[in-house]
Structure 1
Amino acid sequence: MINYIKESYNELKNHVTWTSWSEAQRLTVVVAVFSVVLALAIWGVDTVFSGVVGKYFEWIKS
């Protein structure tokens, strides 16, 4: 187990290419913006669908 941890640390330290801090910040902003846009799109579809289902059930009652 200790050997595995040492080898994993060595792999991360010497063989992984990390992005620069500015690139990581830029990508974080892209993910945050995309998440907000997707959440708004899902909210819009849900609102429309809820309205359609509500109207359908009102129509069936009549």
Structure 2
Amino acid sequence: MKTYVKEAYNELLHKVTWPSWNSLQSSAILVMAASAIIALVVMAMDLGFETIMKAIYNILY
């Protein structure tokens, strides 16, 4: 177990390529924008489905 932790730490420190701060910020902004757009699309679909179902229920009952 001790060897595993040492090797994992060494790999994270010397072999992993970490993104720059600017790259990280750009990616975070892109993810937030995409999440907001997807949320709006899902909301529109939900409201549309709700409207259709209310119309169907009003016709049937």
Q: Same fold (TM over 0.5)?
A: yes
- Alpha-carbon offset, residue 3 of structure 1: 1.2
Partner of 2:57: 57
Aligned residues: 61
- Rounded to whole Å, the distance in 2 between the matches of 1:16 and 1:41 is 37
1:27 is the counterpart of 2:27: yes
- Normalising by structure 1, we get a TM-score of 0.92
- Alpha-carbon offset, residue 2 of structure 1: 1.6
Amino acid at match of 1:6: K
Unaligned 5+ runs, structure 2: none
RMSD: 0.7
- Alpha-carbon offset, residue 51 of structure 1: 0.7
Unaligned 5+ runs, structure 1: none
Structure 1 residue runs of 4+, over 6 Å off? none
- Rounded to whole Å, the distance in 1 between the matches of 2:51 and 2:3 is 60
1:10 is the counterpart of 2:10: yes
Amino acid at match of 1:37: I
- Alpha-carbon offset, residue 5 of structure 1: 1.0
1:42 is the counterpart of 2:42: yes
